[in-house]
Amino acid sequence: MNDNVLKELYEVVLSRKETPSEGSYTCYLFQQGLDKILKKCGEECSEVIIAAKNGANTDTENEICDLLYHLLVLMAQQDIPLENIFAILKERSLKIGNLKKMRQTDRNT
């Protein structure tokens, strides 16, 4: 597998949006609309949290993949190019080392 896997998957998602394919789960999500896509993103996020909390790395990795896929569908639904996300991440990576001061939190309340 190469570093272009997200780009390649995003291209497949975009192609399903433009040219629906019968029996495609991605097409089903687009047909159901934004509320369904958001619901799946939320479900997958919760599953990542649960798998990580359980300490099951293989499960966590698989759930992260599911979440990334559903986020790509959301991006396609909202017409957000993957390049925009890469550009934001690149910009943020330049800020590494700018640690914010931690606030003291009263954990007894």
Interhelix angle for 5-18 vs 57-77, to 10°?
40
Confidence at residue 3, expressed as pLDDT on a 0 to 100 scale: 72
Please check whether residue 88 lies inside any domain of the structure.
Answer: no
Cβ-in-10-Å burial (0-12, 13-18, 19+) of 11 comes to middle
Q: Tens of pLDDT along 8-64?
A: 999 999 999 999 999 999 999 999 999 999 999 999 999 999 999 999 999 999 999
Please check whether residue 61 lies inside any domain of the structure.
Answer: yes
Q: Tens of pLDDT along 67-96?
A: 999 999 999 999 999 999 999 999 998 887
The end-to-end CA distance of the chain, in Å, is 48
Do 82 and 7 form a contact (C-beta atoms < 8 A)?
yes
Q: Any idea what the CATH number is for the domain that residue 18 is in?
A: 1.10.287.1080
Structural domain harbouring 14 = 5-81
What's the 3-state SS for 33-51? Answer: CHHHHHHHHHHHHHHHHHH
Q: Tens of pLDDT along 41-54?
A: 999 999 999 999 99
Please check whether residue 107 lies inside any domain of the structure.
Answer: no
Please check whether residue 89 lies inside any domain of the structure.
Answer: no
The total of structural domains in the chain comes to: 1
